[in-house]
Amino acid sequence: MHGARGTDSTPDPRHATGAHTARAPYGGTYDSPYGGRSDPGRSGGAPAPYAPGDDERWAPEPDKRPGRTAFQRDRARVLHSAALRRLAGKTQVVPAGWEGPGAAGPSAWDASPRTRLTHSLECAQVGRELGAALGCDPDLVEAACLAHDLGHPPFGHNGERALAEIAGPCGGFEGNAQSLRLLARLEPKRFAYGAGGTGPETGGPGPDAYADGQVSVGLNLTRAALDAATKYPWPLGGHPTDPTSPKFGVYEDDLPVFHWFRRGAPPERRCFEAQVMDWSDDVAYSVHDVEDGLHAGHLAPHMLAAEPERREIFAVAAARYAPGADPAELAAALDRLLAQEWWPHRYDGTALAQARLKDAASQLIGRFCLAAEGATRAAYGTGRLTRYAAELVVPDGVRLECAVLKAVADRYVMQRPDQERLRAEQRVVLAELAEALGAGAPEGLDPQFRALFDAADDDRARLRVLVDQIASLTDASARSLHARLVGRASSR
């Protein structure tokens, strides 16, 4: 399909052979195993004030039409991807199909809880506006926000923890590292011929070459877009302050493309656009997860004034979202929010209550974004802030307010005691699914992953393919495949 935001045809192999070295705007050089610039005429390149190297692609491509920037193409590719569509079937916080508490609270509302897709769209709206206000290219930031959750598996964070255990022998699992893997390898969009080989030792993207020597380069986004979508720019064990942290952004066999788009970047430092994406993610999910929890009846506003409940909230916040924070600081942060005239102190599910809750969500998003914009402008002035020219500044008090909201959602929605049986059952589904797929592989795998499994040259690589397959599933398709392969249906 051809058009302003359609898919592009496979690049001519002449654009995908040879080696190329380009000037790096932050020092050093960029090396791609596939060739030179993606836009010889510059008409579709990176808009000012971005550097020429920022719009390069891992596998160079010709422009499709004049006047369209490389970052507009990046945004369109993520927006049209199957990986983004699959997020519609992946849990954000409240599972679809959950029945509300009935007469004691809001009525059942299984038609409208947020999914990973709606969260990503809301994150993208927040990020686009905040990024534009600070001088970032809005299409670049929006592409990063749309892409940030692509790698998340079925069953939300519970599924992520289960897959991390399953994937231990092949280097672990992390949703952000999986997002990069999708963008640069798994999402079928672009194929290219490697330069002298396809393995990491030759600079190619990995051992997944097809019969004619082509390898998948995923969506083949620009260097700046891949960098902007990378929340944790280090491999497992590479956290700058905590080597034991489970948070990382790249698997070992994806390091070639990671090193390519990070060439010249300060080690472990996120680019400015990635910081905007990360804060937009924090803002969107902290606000909207509490909104969903209130609407579903898991949380009532009066709970936030009860001292025993507050102690629980502050303990969760200090343990997970604001390490080392003093309970008094967390209490002050929550009290600042409760004192706002727009804060909803009751909720009964009526149209008026819903409108007030929605206004409160809007006020919170504005509060958090304007605080970051103002503090960053105070530190860096009025110029355009991009790439590694600045750090996003978020006032400590605002970060604590956001952390408290995250803790509220965690305490009352994500970790509800009455859902522990369901969470345990979800982990069993994924563990049994991995075992069944491994025993029967390549049978049972999607055609895409069957080919990769056949091409894998050791058990570690084969396990990674199984993990890729499971991570690609929605909540419903994971249960369906489990029922087919294991022979029994799972409960919801």
Q: How far apart are CA 234 and CA 269, in angstroms?
A: 9
Q: How far apart are CA 186 and CA 184, in angstroms?
A: 7
Cis ω before 344 (30° cut-off from 0): no
**Burial bucket for residue 219 (CB in 10 Å: 0-12, 13-18, 19+):** buried
Cβ pair 461, 469 in contact under 8 A: no
Bridge-partner residues for 31, per DSSP? Answer: 21
Q: How far apart are CA 478 and CA 347, in angstroms?
A: 35
What pLDDT is attached to residue 113?
A: 75
What pLDDT is attached to residue 491?
A: 52
Question: What sections of 148-187 are H helices per DSSP?
Answer: 156-166, 175-181
What pLDDT is attached to residue 205?
A: 44
What pLDDT is attached to residue 488?
A: 62
Bridge-partner residues for 214, per DSSP? Answer: 193
What pLDDT is attached to residue 139?
A: 98
Pairing of the two strands 29-32 and 191-193? unpaired
Cβ pair 292, 103 in contact under 8 A: no
What pLDDT is attached to residue 14?
A: 29
CA-to-CA dists, residue 477 to 87, 89, 219, 482, 485, angstroms: 12, 9, 24, 8, 12
Pairing of the two strands 29-32 and 20-23? antiparallel
Q: How far apart are CA 73 and CA 220, in angstroms?
A: 10
When computed from its CA atoms, the radius of gyration of the chain, rounded to whole angstroms, is: 23
CA-to-CA dists, residue 296 to 25, 122, 155, angstroms: 49, 19, 18
User: Which residue in 281, 273, 279 sits closest to 390, CA to CA?
Assistant: 273
Q: Domain ranges in the chain?
A: 272-415
Quote the tokens at residue 93: 């916080």
Question: What sections of 1-69 are H helices per DSSP?
Answer: none
What pLDDT is attached to residue 414?
A: 86
Residues shown for the chain: 492
User: Which residue in 42, 39, 45, 31 sits closest to 15, CA to CA?
Assistant: 39
Cβ pair 90, 474 in contact under 8 A: yes
Q: Which amino acid appears at position 182 of this protein?
A: L
What pLDDT is attached to residue 233?
A: 98
Q: Which amino acid appears at position 309 of this protein?
A: E
pLDDT tens for the chain, residues 1 to 492: 433 333 333 333 323 333 333 333 333 333 555 444 444 333 456 676 899 899 999 999 988 888 899 999 999 999 999 999 999 999 877 665 444 443 344 445 444 778 999 999 999 999 999 999 999 999 999 999 999 999 999 998 999 999 999 999 999 999 999 999 999 999 999 999 864 334 333 444 444 555 567 889 999 999 999 999 999 999 999 999 999 999 999 999 999 999 999 999 999 999 999 999 999 999 999 999 999 999 888 899 999 999 999 999 999 999 999 999 999 999 999 999 999 999 999 999 999 999 999 999 999 999 999 999 999 999 999 999 999 999 999 999 999 999 999 999 999 988 888 788 999 999 999 999 999 999 999 999 999 999 999 999 999 999 999 999 999 999 999 999 999 999 865 555
The position carrying tokens 């937009």 is 280
What pLDDT is attached to residue 46?
A: 66
Bridge-partner residues for 19, per DSSP? Answer: none
Residue 29 phi, psi (nearest 5): -130, 165
Q: How far apart are CA 132 and CA 284, in angstroms?
A: 17
Which of 467-470's residues contact partners 24+ apart within 8 Å by CB, and which partners? 467/163, 467/166, 467/167, 467/170, 467/173, 467/434, 468/178, 468/181, 468/186, 469/437, 469/445, 470/153, 470/154, 470/163, 470/166, 470/430, 470/433, 470/434, 470/437
What is the value of pTM for the model shown? 0.87
Q: Which amino acid appears at position 213 of this protein?
A: G
